[in-house]
Amino acid sequence: MTIRVAVLGATGTVGQRFIQLLEDHPWFEIAALVGSERSAGRTYAEATRWVLDTPMPLAVRSMEILPDTADLDTPLVFSALPSKTAGAIEQRLARAGHIVCSNASDHRAEPDVPLLIPEVNPEHLELLAVQRANRGWSGAIVTNPNCTATGPTMALRPLHDAFAVRKLLLVSMQALSGAGYPGVPSYDAVDNVLPYIGNEEPKVETEPQKMLGQLQDGQVEPAAFTISAHCNRVPVLEGHLVCLSVAFERPTSLDEVVTTLRNFRSLPQELGLPSAPAEPIIVRDEPDRPQTRRDRDAGFGMSTTVGRVRPCPILDYKFVCLSHNTIRGAAGGSLLNAELMHAQGIF
C-alpha cells in the first residue's frame, strides 16, 4: 500500500524536484500540493513555471494548490519551503501528527531534530522519540543538511571512521540553482564568480560536525574536528563542486584513503531503498574528474563523486567531491530520509 504525501512549496525549484522524483514512486503517492497565497486555489499547471528538463507529470497538472494553512490528510509531508517561512508551518504540521521531511534550515541546529543523511547517520533517527517527548507532539520533523555540506559529509563519513578527521579546509563552487528560481541575476552570474553566499559558510562549518557526531543519552555529541569554509557561487546550473584538504588523527596512506572511499556502503544500500545509489561514493581515477556537467547525475543524482585524491603539503590529503544540489542535496535527500523511515516502520 502506498503512503499519501504532500509537497509544501510545490511550485518552486525544489518542489518541482520532489514532484519529478515522486512520479511512479513505489512507496509514495502525491495527494496534496501546497503553495503560497498567490498560488492557492489555482491548478498546479496554471501556477507553476516548470523549469526542469523533463515534462511536468500529468498526474499533478490539474491538482488544486492548497494554502499553507490547510489541514492535510497525508501522514508524510515533504517541505520545500524557504527558510524562515518554513519553521512555523512545519511545527504546526508536526503537532498535528505529520512527519515532515524538511529542506529548510530552520530546525537543523535544534538538538532534538535529526539532521540526516541515511548513509552517514541513520542512528540519529532515535532522536524522534526525544523530540516527541520534549514537544508533546505525535508527528516529527526530520531535516536534510545544507546542499553544500551534503557531498563533503558523505565523503568524510568513511574517512572519519577509519582515520579520525582532525581539521579540514574546503572551498565550494556552487551552482546557480542553489539560489532557487529565478535566482542570481544574469548580470551578476555570467562571466563572474560570487565569493559570498549569505549565511552559507556557518552552515557548512557546523552541520557536518552534527551529522558525524555520536548519539549519546538522547543527544548528539558533535564531532570535534574544525572546519574552515569558503563558499562561492559559479555560473553552472546544477551541481556543487567542493575542494577539500583534510588532516587526520591517525596516519594513513594514499591507497588506504582511496580504498576506504571506494568501498563505502551503508544502511540504505543494505536495505535496497528505492532512491539509494548502488555506490554512494564513486571514486574517479582520471586527473580531471569530477566535472560538474559530466558527473553531477551519477547514481541518478544521488551519488557523491570524488576525484583527484592526492597528498596535501599543508594538511594530509586533498580531493575534490561533487554532488547534485537539487537532487541529493535537496529533494532526493529528503526522499531517501523518508524511505529509510518507512523501511524502519516509523510511519
Please state, in angstroms and rounded to a whole number, the distance separating the CA atoms of residues 268 and 276: 6
Please state, in angstroms and rounded to a whole number, the distance separating the CA atoms of residues 228 and 331: 27
Q: Is 245 left (phi over 0), alpha (psi -120 to 50) or beta?
A: beta
Reduced to 3 states, what is the DSSP secondary structure of residue 31? strand
Of the residues 147, 160, 321, 324, only one is catalytic, namely: 147
147 carries an active-site annotation: yes
For CA atoms 345, 342, 267, 122, the dihedral sign is negative
Q: Quote the cell numbers at residue 248.
A: 587526520
240 carries an active-site annotation: yes
Q: Are 70 and 34 in contact (CB under 8 A)?
A: yes
What's the burial of 132, exposed, middle or buried (CB within 10 Å: 0-12/13-18/19+)? middle
With b for 16 or more beta-carbon neighbours within 10 A and e for fewer, the 279-312 pattern comes to bbbbbbeeeebbbbeebbebbebbbbbbbbbeee
* Helices 254-262/147-163 angle, 10° precision: 120
Chain-centroid distance of CA 63 in Å reads 27
Q: Quote the cell numbers at residue 338.
A: 523518508
Q: Quote the cell numbers at residue 119.
A: 548513509
Of the residues 124, 160, 240, 324, only one is catalytic, namely: 240
Residues assigned a catalytic role: 147, 240
